[in-house]
Amino acid sequence: MVIISDLSKKLTEAINLEKSLEKDLLQTDACLIEAKAKVECKKQNADFFRKKMKEWSQLSQSLENDLKQVGFDASLDHQSLVELSEKLENTKKEVESLNTKLKSYHDLTPNFYSAKVKIEETKLELLAFMMQIISVSLGGLSYLIPLGQKAS
């Protein structure tokens, strides 16, 4: 009887183990089906993105060819124009600064020799003006003129 009882326990344990294994197998099958569905979805997404990437690449190449055909210059793209605009603003500021400095020199002639001539002319004008003042202040006083010189 002990043998039958041992066998009965072992049989019960085996049956319980078999049920547990069947349950685990069903859970594993469910997880496998779910994992296969996820893999299939990811595969479809990857295929979709590959196709889209190929389409966009072809479209990009086609548009670049169109730009070449119409004579598009790469220096006219947005980034280049922004850089040129910044350079222009900086140059305008420099020119404005230089113009401010230049204003103080507007009365001068740009040529050194012309400046010398202008100085000499101004000296002659000053001398003539001084002579006129002296002649007016002296009036008819010809006695101040040294002998041997004529009064003009």
Per residue in 82-94, pLDDT tens? 999 999 999 999 9
In the chain, % of residues over pLDDT 90? 52
| Residue type, position 92, single letter | K
Q: Both tokens of residue 23? A: 């349950």
| Residue type, position 133, single letter | I
Q: What is the mean pLDDT of the chain?
A: 86
Contact 109, 115 (CB under 8 A): yes
| Residue type, position 139, single letter | G
* 36 HSE (CA, 13 A, CB side): 6
CA distances for 116 relative to 102, 110, 128, angstroms: 20, 11, 18
**Residue owning tokens 């507007």:** 106
118, with CB counted inside 10 A (0-12, 13-18, 19+), is middle
Per residue in 46-63, pLDDT tens? 999 999 999 999 999 999
